[in-house]
Every structure is written in C-alpha cells, then in structure tokens.
Amino acid sequence: MRVVRSVRELQQLAGAERAGGRRVALVPTMGALHAGHLALVAEARRRADTVVVSIFVNPTQFGPGEDFAAYPRPFEDDLARCREAGVDVVFAPPVEELYPAGAETHVEVERLARPLCGASRPGHFRGVATVVTKLLNAARPDVAVFGEKDYQQLALIRRLARDLLLGVEIVGVPTLREADGLALSSRNAFLGPETRPQAVVLRRALLAAEAAVAAGERDTAALLALVRRELDKAPLAELDYAELRDPDTLEPAPPRLAGPALLALAVRFPAPSGPRGVRLIDNTVLRPAAPLEDLP
C-alpha cells in the first residue's frame, strides 16, 4: 500500500493506472475509519482495479464551535485498517496541499445545500463541495463511493458531478449499523455511557415511521408527530430536525405522501468533550405502497 501526500503524485499515479487500462475508485474519508468506511472500500474494490482512500479532516466544513480540533485522527490505526482491507493508495495531504496560501475559490451547490444540515450548519456544504471537487480532481477516478447515511451530502455530490461534467460515477452504499441499530459514525466515539444507549432512538424513530407507512399512514404531519414522540423517549436527545423531503430534490414532501419520501433526522446529545455535544444524523426513504386502484 502506498501513502501519497501530494496532489501531483496522486495525479501521476492515477494517470498511470488509467493508462494501463485499470479503473480507479476513490473513497473520500476524514479518517477514524470504522466498518462503515470499510464497506465503502469493499464496494470500491468491486467496481475498480485500484482503490484510493483519502484521509483528510477538512477544515472548511466545520463551523464555529464545531468539533474540528477534537475530531479523532488515529492515522496509524487508519493505515492498518486500509492495509487489511486491501487499499492500494492512501491519499493523506496536509491542509496546505488542498488549500494553498491565498486560496479563494469555493464550490457551492445552491439548492440542495439549503435544507436539513445546510440550514443548521451554514457553510458546511460549501466546504464539502469544495473539498470533494479538489479530491476528485486530484484522483480523477472512474468511480467515487460515499455512504447513504449522509444522504444530503450524497445527493449534493451527485449533482456537483453532473453539473461540473466531471465524468465520474458517484455510488452510494447503504448505511452500516451497530447491532442495536445505531448508524456507524466516527462521532459515536464521543458518546458517553449515558448517551450511547439513548442514541439508538434515531433508528427506532425511523422504524416507527416505516411501520406506520406500511400500515397505511400517508399524512406527513402525523408521521412527523410520531417520529417526534419516539425521539422524546430519549430525555438527553435534543432535536435539530426531523423532516420529510423529496428523495431527489430535497424539496418538502407534500401533505400526503403519494410516492417515496426521505425521512431525515439530526439529533444532538450532550458530551463531556465539547459544549455543543455530539450531533448524529440518520435517514430512511419511506416507500408507500401504491393504492390497489393504481395497480395494473
């Protein structure tokens, strides 16, 4: 496995792979790798001959008071996990390699960045779009793999790749979960003994909504009320948002569901390591069955 620090070296390496007829896959990460990241690597391996994993804690996607300084950076452990997973190249640039002195260019995907996490984390998705564009330009992959847990991010990156004619296939991988249903996240490490058992409430709220839709509920307000009741069962949970959105456009869902709808949650839990606590996200796409009169 090769560790690369510079954009030029990565471009040369990836160019040589493509010139040799080999497909290149990129898995962008911020490190602190867990089984969810390794699932992305496995999907990348299925789709390409050469797998590049980037490890870069991107400063431009963290807002004031967020956990940039405290974000875990177990680099040697991450390298060991990459070796075990059969990664070919780890791209781990210093900040100045991706943001050289005087850099003033940013990438924004305007509409998709506004709701959900974009509303509560101003500037976050500008940072995401900018760094992902830089990483895609550095690796110039045939395919890039992201997790569906960050649904809004995945939708935004798909739009970015189409709009900027980047010629890369963007692939989403279903969320990997702990045995109790909590979505795997690097931020789970910040949960304490009191908050960790309560964090599973996100998954329980999603499952309650799925069950209600399966039983025939279509009213958006009723579904969101059900979700909030479930979240209220965790006394330490502070709701950031619980929203139903169109899965493609992220526009608000209609008052009555007539087709698939994204149910997206963001919840914050207190943590001893930071004043703003641990912010967790999760989602599911609700898929109402077609009415009998609509079936062929």
How far, in Å, CA of 83 to CA of 229, rounded? 44
pLDDT given for residue 134 in this prediction:
98
47-104 pLDDT, tens per residue?
Answer: 999 999 999 999 999 988 788 988 899 999 999 999 999 999 999 999 999 999 999 9
**Do 77 and 218 fall within a single domain?**
no
The residue annotated as part of the active site, out of 34, 37, 106, 124, is 37
Instruction: Please determine, for residue 292, whether its predicted confidence score (pLDDT) is greater than 50.
Output: no
In a domain, residue 132? The reply is: yes
CATH number at residue 265: 3.30.1300.10
**Residues of the chain with pLDDT > 70: what percent?**
96
**Do 59 and 17 fall within a single domain?**
yes
In a domain, residue 296? The reply is: no
The mean pLDDT value of the chain amounts to 95
32-42 pLDDT, tens per residue?
Answer: 999 999 999 99
**Do 55 and 161 fall within a single domain?**
yes
- Out of 142, 173, 204, pick the residue that ends a domain: 173
In a domain, residue 53? The reply is: yes
Tell me if residue 37 is catalytic: yes
Average pLDDT of 175-194?
A: 95
Q: How many domains does the chain have?
A: 2
DSSP letter assigned to residue 177: B
pLDDT given for residue 157 in this prediction:
98
**Do 161 and 194 fall within a single domain?**
no
- Six token digits for residue 14: 């990836």
Instruction: Please determine, for residue 106, whether its predicted confidence score (pLDDT) is greater than 50.
Output: yes
DSSP codes joined into one string, 25-64: EEEEE-S---HHHHHHHHHHHHH-SEEEEEE---GGG--T
In a domain, residue 294? The reply is: no
Instruction: Please determine, for residue 296, whether its predicted confidence score (pLDDT) is greater than 90.
Output: no
3-state secondary structure of 275: strand
In a domain, residue 180? The reply is: no
Q: How confident is the model at residue 295 (pLDDT cuts 50, 70, 90)?
A: very low
DSSP codes joined into one string, 234-266: STT-EEEEEEEE-TTT-PBPPSB-SS-EEEEEE
210-265 pLDDT, tens per residue?
Answer: 999 999 999 999 999 999 999 999 999 999 999 999 999 999 999 999 999 999 99
pLDDT given for residue 145 in this prediction:
98
Domain of 270, in residue numbers: 186-288
How far, in Å, CA of 107 to CA of 126, rounded? 6
pLDDT given for residue 273 in this prediction:
62
